[in-house]
């Protein structure tokens, strides 16, 4: 029982983290029609910035806030210097150019921080276990991730659906020439959206940092998971990204936790222990394959343009 609740919450936490990453990716794709492979690099930079700033200031929270600002800024610089020239180009060009950016970021990190990973230690008040149900404790930090990510998801929803800037963003997504003709500075809007996406990726990275080590290439595997989420959820749909992210986070976490035991009931224990690791890492891709067969455009496709 304890294990089930714990793994369930772990799945939720991982799913929400994936959502932060996928939301930025799907926003940038839905609005600017840009495929950004370097999104994972922004996630990595968020983690590195947080580890560095936290060490400088001696405060985890201050470090996290500075890192958030730094990734936002980095995203804006990246958009202005390189990526805005790619708008309207072929998707293949996006893939190649941002692949180049990944090489650049990985190498830059190796140059600046060295090849060894960093650690981002948690302050004492975040390491205590919190009782969530009678007799069941859960780490405060993971709980904090869940709360922060849910809050951000809510803010994102309200921001896009209920504010004037959000309205402009949605309008820009459906017709960029028209909104430009109405006197809105669409270029500035794009830069802001890209910065927002970068900040979301940075937030995901810095929140994940204390749980895993901060290392080169940490953004790449999770980026591919974010792709899977976008494919399942439907490109350009934030709602789809949210539901698919939680779904994927749950399946991945629960699969890894419980699949070996389940297999052991069916197969011999040696066969099960051989097959389980490979099978549990395949689960979400199998899920994606099933979704593709049933709904090729994703579960919650955004409105057609």
Give me the residues that bind another protein (CB under 8 A), please.
Answer: 29, 35, 82, 85-86, 89, 91-93, 95-97, 99-108, 110-111, 220-221, 224, 227-228, 230-231, 235, 274, 277-279, 281-282, 285, 288-289, 292-293, 296-297
- Among 5, 41, 21, 7, residue whose Cα is nearest residue 245: 21
Cβ 17 vs Cβ 249: under 8 Å: yes
Least Å distance between CB 65 and another protein? 29
The first and second tokens of residue 104, run together, are 């650049």
Q: How far is the CB of 15 from another protein (least distance, A)?
A: 17
Smallest gap from Cβ 137 to another protein, in A, equals: 32
Nearer to another protein, 170 or 256 (CB): 256
Lookup result for tokens 């937030």: 203
Q: Rounded to an integer, what distance in angstroms lies between the CA atom of residue 228 and that of residue 287?
A: 9
Round to whole Å and give the CA distance between 121 and 64. Answer: 12
* Between 71 and 98, CB nearer to another protein: 98
Residue 64 or 102: the one with the smaller Cβ distance to another protein is 102
Q: What are phi and psi of 177, to 5 degrees?
A: -65, -45
What's the min distance (Å) between Cβ of 121 and another protein? 28
Q: How far is the CB of 264 from another protein (least distance, A)?
A: 16
With respect to another protein, which residue has the nearer C-beta, 116 or 124? 116
Query: CB of 163 within 8 A of CB of 152?
Result: no
Q: Identify the CA nearest to 46 among candidates 152, 197, 264.
A: 197
Cα 227 to Cα 40: distance, rounded to the nearest angstrom: 11
């Amino acid at each position: 029982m304890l294990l089930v609740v714990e793994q369930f919450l772990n799945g939720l936490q991982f799913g929400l983290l994936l959502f932060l990453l996928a939301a930025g990716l799907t926003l940038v794709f839905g609005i600017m029609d840009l495929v950004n492979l370097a999104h994972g690099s922004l996630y990595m930079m968020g983690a590195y910035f947080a580890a560095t700033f936290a060490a400088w200031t001696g405060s985890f929270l201050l470090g996290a806030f500075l890192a958030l600002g730094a990734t936002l800024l980095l995203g804006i610089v990246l958009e202005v210097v390189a990526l805005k020239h790619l708008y309207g180009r072929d998707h293949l060009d996006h893939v190649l150019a941002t692949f180049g950016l990944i090489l650049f970021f990985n190498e830059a990190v190796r140059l600046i921080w060295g090849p060894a990973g960093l650690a981002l230690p948690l302050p004492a008040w975040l390491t205590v276990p919190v009782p969530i149900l009678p007799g069941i404790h859960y780490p405060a930090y993971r709980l904090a991730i869940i709360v922060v990510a849910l809050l951000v998801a809510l803010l994102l929803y309200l921001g896009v659906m209920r504010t004037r800037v959000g309205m402009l963003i949605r309008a820009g997504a459906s017709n960029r020439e028209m909104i430009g003709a109405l006197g809105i500075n669409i270029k500035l809007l794009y830069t802001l959206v890209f910065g927002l996406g970068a900040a979301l990726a940075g937030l995901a990275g810095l929140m994940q940092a204390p749980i895993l080590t901060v290392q080169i290439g940490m953004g790449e595997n999770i980026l591919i998971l974010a792709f899977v989420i976008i494919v399942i959820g439907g490109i350009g749909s934030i709602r789809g990204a949210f539901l698919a992210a939680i779904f994927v986070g749950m399946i991945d976490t629960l699969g890894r936790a419980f699949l070996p035991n389940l297999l052991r009931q069916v197969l011999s224990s040696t066969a099960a222990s051989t097959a389980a690791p490979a099978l549990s890492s395949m689960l979400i891709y199998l899920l994606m394959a099933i979704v593709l067969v049933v709904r090729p455009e994703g579960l919650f496709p955004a409105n057609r343009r």
